[in-house]
């Protein structure tokens, strides 16, 4: 199994310098970060490239994508003046499945310890993992002891039976192997995968939001992905194959303009809602170059309101679809009233207001926080996933450092393929 080796390498204490790679639909972005003492993360190197050869989160052109990856990592290496070997990579939520499993374990009157929790993770993972799927994350969400629900950390508590709800995220082996091969072509190796909206949450959400429950929507170029936190834990992930690129396409079609101009017009003048001063939107005229027309004087003249009329239905439809998905999965996401939007496409004016209206939640825009050394351009929502990968790596470093100490004293016999999820323990 590919994951066996990869996850095993994660058992080692991560080095102080880590390299992460976000492979998105529009861009491939690499950060090299120094994980300092305490909670600091200092970005030392940055590289990004237009992404090629990826569709709906999966590789469709290996050569093109590996060129983008090689260029992005090389630029980051040059800036940081280090040579990279291993990278932690984001995986699109379109390639994964979220499962919540209830498992129980007899504890016969003794105090619960780390090994009990790992055994439960192993049981949950075994019941969903198959020969064609790989386990990416295995996160205990809530515990109960002898029927007492809502226990956050059962370690040290005494009882007869320990129960847990465990969130297992799986990915199909085939597409995952292609990412290994792609990174391998760049003479690098994958140290692990993190589901993209999980990474985005880690760089944009504050602790209170995670504890009280929050839904995060990462609005990218080709996708809108969702992560739901409940009681401090990632409870669900979901994915819709629609994003900012679709808005650009709508503008290009609606105004008969080349994609390049449609993208520029969207960024400069686009909005998902008419402004409160809507007569201003009618007065500002935008000149739109036409497909096949060289003479800029012959551009189409449109008002901002006309542009909004093209953009709004797509954003509305996206949030309506998100609403359906959240309803389907269960009422936890609906019950939490807080929503954070991130990803490049969330930067369109009016998106926050529309989300708040349709999803009926208190909504804010999320940008990467707690990562130092990023210039202003990189502190925007487009780079939330990449920054989040560094936050994830720091979390692992801390967990592994403390666990490795314990493991060397008392290595449990069941540490096989599944033992590696200790990192997503408590
Ligand atoms: N200021 C802006 N206003 C509106 N849209 C923007 C702005 N900046 C970027 N975008 C849009 O954001 C999208 C890119 O976002 P992002 O970089 O998060 O995507 P990605 O990670 O490459 O894609 P995905 O996550 O879907 O694989 C593009 O569609 C782009 O048009
Ligand atoms: Mg993205």
Q: Which ligand is nearest to the CA of 269?
A: 1
Check pocket membership of 263 for ligand 1, CB cut-off 6 A.
Answer: yes
Q: Which residue has the tokens 């909206």?
A: 197
Mean pLDDT calculated for residue range 110-126: 92
3-class DSSP state of 426: coil
Q: How far is the CA of 157 from the centre of ligand 2 (A)?
A: 41
Closest approach atom of ligand 1 to CA 25: 27
Mean pLDDT calculated for residue range 121-149: 90
Out of 29-43, 193-207, 358-372, least confident range: 29-43
Going by CA atoms, what residue is nearest to atom 6 of ligand 1? 345
Most confident range (mean pLDDT) of 94-103, 327-336, 406-415 is 94-103
Distance from C-alpha of 358 to C-alpha of 339, rounded to nearest angstrom = 12
Mean pLDDT of the chain: 88
Check pocket membership of 14 for ligand 1, CB cut-off 6 A.
Answer: no
Interaxial angle between packed helices 304-329 and 259-269, expressed in degrees from 0 to 180 and rounded to the nearest 10: 90
Q: Say if residues 21 and 77 touch (Cβ distance below 8 Å).
A: no
Q: How far is the CA of 25 from the centre of ligand 2 (A)?
A: 7
Distance from C-alpha of 201 to C-alpha of 367, rounded to nearest angstrom = 10
Check pocket membership of 26 for ligand 1, CB cut-off 6 A.
Answer: yes
Going by CA atoms, what residue is nearest to atom 5 of ligand 1? 345
Q: Say if residues 341 and 365 touch (Cβ distance below 8 Å).
A: yes
Closest approach atom of ligand 1 to CA 22: 21
Check pocket membership of 24 for ligand 1, CB cut-off 6 A.
Answer: yes
Check pocket membership of 222 for ligand 1, CB cut-off 6 A.
Answer: yes
State residue 410's pLDDT score: 46
State residue 407's pLDDT score: 57
Mean pLDDT calculated for residue range 161-186: 95
pLDDT at residue 11 is higher than 50:
no
Check pocket membership of 368 for ligand 1, CB cut-off 6 A.
Answer: no
Check pocket membership of 378 for ligand 1, CB cut-off 6 A.
Answer: no
Check pocket membership of 267 for ligand 1, CB cut-off 6 A.
Answer: yes
Most confident range (mean pLDDT) of 125-139, 322-336, 356-370 is 356-370
Going by CA atoms, what residue is nearest to atom 21 of ligand 1? 24
Q: Which ligand is nearest to the CA of 48?
A: 1
Check pocket membership of 223 for ligand 1, CB cut-off 6 A.
Answer: yes
Q: Say if residues 134 and 173 touch (Cβ distance below 8 Å).
A: yes
Tokens (6 digits) for 206: 């504050």
Sign of CA dihedral 242, 245, 250, 253: negative
Q: Say if residues 167 and 236 touch (Cβ distance below 8 Å).
A: yes
Q: What is the pLDDT of residues 369-426, one digit of tens each?
A: 989 999 998 899 999 999 999 999 998 887 777 666 665 554 333 333 333 344 455 5
> Nearest-CA neighbor of 132 among 2, 7, 261, 14?
2
> Nearest-CA neighbor of 125 among 423, 411, 417, 425?
417
Mean pLDDT calculated for residue range 308-333: 90
376 CB-near residues (< 8 Å, 6+ apart): none
DSSP 93-137: GGGEEEEEEEEEEE-TTSBP-HHHHHHHHHHHHHHH--TTEEEEE
Q: How far is the CA of 425 from the centre of ligand 2 (A)?
A: 26
Out of 56-60, 256-260, 333-337, least confident range: 333-337
Going by CA atoms, what residue is nearest to atom 24 of ligand 1? 220
Q: Say if residues 362 and 368 touch (Cβ distance below 8 Å).
A: no
Task: Return the HEC string of 199-250.
Answer: HHHHHHCCHHHHHHCEEEEEECCCCEEEEEEECCEEEEEEEECCCHHHHHHH
Q: How far is the CA of 42 from the centre of ligand 1 (A)?
A: 24
Tokens (6 digits) for 96: 């994964």
Going by CA atoms, what residue is nearest to atom 4 of ligand 1? 348
332 CB-near residues (< 8 Å, 6+ apart): 213, 228, 230, 235, 236
Out of 131-135, 174-178, 419-423, least confident range: 419-423
pLDDT at residue 257 is higher than 90:
yes
State residue 103's pLDDT score: 95
Domains and CATH numbers, the chain: 96-171 (3.30.1490.110), 207-367 (3.30.420.40)
Check pocket membership of 245 for ligand 1, CB cut-off 6 A.
Answer: yes
pLDDT at residue 77 is higher than 60:
yes
Q: Could you tell me if residue 309 is left (phi over 0), alpha (psi between -120 and 50 degrees) or otherwise beta?
A: alpha
State residue 55's pLDDT score: 92
Closest approach atom of ligand 1 to CA 263: 31
Q: Say if residues 329 and 368 touch (Cβ distance below 8 Å).
A: no
Q: How far is the CA of 53 from the centre of ligand 2 (A)?
A: 15
DSSP 330-383: -HHHHH--EEEEESGGGGSTTHHHHHHHHHTSEEEE----S-BS--GGGGSGGG
Q: Say if residues 300 and 256 touch (Cβ distance below 8 Å).
A: yes
Going by CA atoms, what residue is nearest to atom 8 of ligand 1? 344
- C-alpha angle 401-117-146 in degrees, rounded to nearest 5: 145
Greater model confidence, 3 or 130: 130
Mean pLDDT calculated for residue range 280-285: 68
Share of the chain above pLDDT 90, in %: 73
Check pocket membership of 260 for ligand 1, CB cut-off 6 A.
Answer: no
Q: Say if residues 242 and 223 touch (Cβ distance below 8 Å).
A: yes
Backbone dihedral angles phi then psi of residue 30, each to the nearest 5 degrees: -120, 130
State residue 140's pLDDT score: 93
Check pocket membership of 289 for ligand 1, CB cut-off 6 A.
Answer: no
């Amino acid at each position: 199994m590919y994951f066996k080796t990869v996850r095993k390498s994660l058992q080692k204490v991560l080095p102080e310098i880590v390299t992460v790679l976000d492979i998105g639909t529009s861009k491939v972005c690499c950060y090299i970060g120094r994980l300092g003492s305490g909670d600091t993360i200092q970005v030392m190197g940055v590289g990004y490239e237009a992404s090629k050869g990826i569709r709906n989160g999966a590789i469709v052109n290996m050569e093109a994508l590996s060129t983008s990856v090689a260029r992005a990592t090389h630029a980051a290496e040059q800036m940081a003046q280090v040579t990279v070997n291993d990278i932690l990579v984001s995986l699109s939520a379109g390639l994964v499945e979220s499962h919540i499993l209830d498992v129980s374990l007899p504890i016969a009157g003794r105090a619960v310890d780390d090994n009990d929790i790992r055994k439960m993770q192993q049981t949950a993972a075994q019941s969903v993992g198959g020969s064609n799927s790989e386990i990416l994350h295995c996160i205990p969400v809530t515990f109960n002891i002898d029927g007492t629900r809502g226990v956050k950390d059962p370690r040290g508590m005494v009882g007869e039976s320990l129960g847990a709800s465990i969130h297992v995220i799986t990915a199909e082996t085939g597409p995952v192997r292609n990412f290994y091969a792609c990174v391998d072509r760049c003479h690098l190796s994958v140290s692990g995968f993190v589901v993209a909206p999980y990474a985005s949450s880690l760089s944009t959400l504050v602790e209170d939001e995670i504890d009280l429950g929050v839904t995060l929507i990462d609005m990218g170029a080709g996708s809108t992905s969702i992560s739901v936190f409940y009681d401090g834990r990632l409870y669900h992930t979901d994915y819709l194959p629609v994003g900012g690129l679709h808005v650009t396409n709508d503008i290009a079609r609606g105004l008969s303009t080349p994609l390049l101009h449609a993208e520029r017009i969207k960024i400069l003048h686009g909005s998902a809602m008419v402004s409160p001063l809507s007569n201003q939107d009618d007065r500002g005229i935008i000149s739109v170059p036409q497909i096949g027309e060289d003479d800029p004087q012959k551009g189409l003249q449109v008002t901002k309101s006309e542009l909004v009329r093209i953009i709004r239905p797509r954003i509305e439809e996206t949030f309506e679809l998100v609403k359906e998905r959240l309803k389907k999965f269960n009422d936890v996401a609906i019950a939490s009233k807080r929503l954070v939007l991130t990803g490049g496409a969330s930067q369109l004016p009016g998106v926050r207001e529309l989300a708040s209206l349709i999803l009926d939640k208190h909504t804010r825009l999320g940008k990467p926080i707690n990562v130092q050394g990023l210039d202003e351009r990189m502190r925007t929502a487009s780079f939330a996933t990449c920054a989040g990968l560094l936050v994830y790596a720091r979390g692992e470093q801390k967990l592994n450092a403390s666990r490795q100490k314990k493991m060397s004293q008392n290595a449990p016999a069941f540490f096989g393929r599944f033992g590696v999820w200790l990192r997503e323990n408590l």
